[in-house]
A and B are shown apart, each in its own frame.
Chain A
Amino acid sequence: MKRLMNLNPDVYARAILGALPFILIIVLYIISSQARLAENPRDKLLPSFNSMASTINTMAVHPSKRTGEYTFWNDTSSSLKRLGMGIGVAAIIGLIFGILNGIIPLARANLSPIITIISLIPPLAVLPVLFIVFGLGELSKVVLIAIGITPFIIRDLQAKVLELPKEQLIKAQTLGASTWLVIVRVVLPQILPRLIESVRLSLGAAWLFLIAAEAIASTDGLGYRIFLVRRYLSMDVILPYVAWITLLAFMTDYFLRLISIKAFPWFHATDK
Chain B
Amino acid sequence: MALIAVKKLWKEYGNNVVIEQVNITVEQGEFITIVGTSGCGKTTFLRMLLGIEQPTRGELLLNGKPFPEEPGEDRGIVFQRYSVFPHLTVLKNTMLADELGQSRIIGKLFGDKNKQAADKAKELLESVGLTHALNLYPHELSGGMQQRLAIAQALMKNPRILLLDEPFGALDPGIRADMHELILELWKKTGLTIFMITHDLYESFYLGTRLWVFDKLRLDPDNTNAYGANITYDIPVGKADRTTYEDIDQSLEKSRKVLVK
Q: Which residues of A contact B (CB under 8 A)?
A: 165, 167-168, 170-178, 180-181, 184-186, 189-190, 264-267, 269-270
Contacts and interface: CB of A to CB of B under 8 A. Distances in A.
B243 to A, nearest CB: 38
B233 interface: no
B140 to A, nearest CB: 8
Given A174-B154, A175-B156, A267 B87 contact: yes
B51 to A, nearest CB: 9
Contacts of B137: 265-266, 269
Given A167-B82, A175-B73, A265-B137, 8 more contacts: A167-B79, A171-B77, A171-B150, A172-B96, A174-B77, A175-B96, A180-B105, A184-B106
Q: Which 3 A-B pairs have the closest CB atoms?
A: A165-B82, A173-B71, A167-B82
Q: Tell me what chain B mostly uses at the interface: helix, strand, loop, or mixed.
A: loop
A168 B150 CA distance: 11
B164 to A, nearest CB: 12
Interface in B77-106: 77, 79, 81-87, 96-97, 99-101, 104-106
B254 interface: no
Contact of A269 (B85, B99, B139): B139
Contact of B153 (A171, A178, A180, A181): A171
Chain B interface size, under 10 / 10 to 19 / 20 to 34 / 35 or more: 35 or more
A37 B140 CA distance: 61
A181 B104 CA distance: 7
B52 interface: yes
A167 B83 contact: yes
B82 A168 contact: yes
Q: Tell me what chain A mostly uses at the interface: helix, strand, loop, or mixed.
A: helix
Given A176-B97, A181-B100, A190-B86, A266 B139 contact: yes
B100 A176 contact: yes
Contact of B139 (A176, A181, A270): A270
Contact of A174 (B72, B82, B85): B72
Nearest to A183: B107
17 contacts: A165-B81, A167-B82, A168-B82, A170-B50, A170-B52, A171-B150, A171-B153, A174-B73, A176-B97, A176-B100, A176-B157, A177-B107, A181-B107, A266-B137, A266-B139, A267-B87, A270-B139
A168 B107 contact: no
A185 B97 contact: no
Interface of B: 50, 52, 70-73, 75-77, 79, 81-87, 96-97, 99-101, 104-108, 137-140, 150, 153-154, 156-157, 159
Contacts of B82: 165, 167-168
Contacts of A190: 85-87
A264 B139 CA distance: 13
B139 A186 contact: no
A181 to B, nearest CB: 5
A177 B107 CA distance: 9
Contacts of B72: 173-174
Q: Report which residue of A173, A174, A181 has the largest number of chain B beta carbons within 10 angstroms of its beta carbon.
A: A174
Contact of A185 (B81, B99, B138): B99
Nearest to B137: A266
A171 B154 CA distance: 8
Contacts of A181: 100, 104, 107
A267 B85 CA distance: 11
A50 B226 CA distance: 83
Contact of A270 (B71, B86, B105): B86
Nearest to A267: B87
B86 to A, nearest CB: 6
Q: Report which residue of B50, B82, B137 has the largest number of chain A beta carbons within 10 angstroms of its beta carbon.
A: B82
A175 B97 contact: yes
A175 to B, nearest CB: 4
A174 B70 CA distance: 9
Q: Report which residue of A165, A170, A178, A267 has the largest number of chain B beta carbons within 10 angstroms of its beta carbon.
A: A170
A40 B64 CA distance: 97
A237 B68 CA distance: 69
A185 B159 CA distance: 21
Given A190-B86, A264-B87, A173 B157 contact: no
A174 B76 contact: yes
Contacts of B50: 170, 174
Contacts of A171: 77, 79, 83-85, 150, 153-154
A174 B156 contact: no
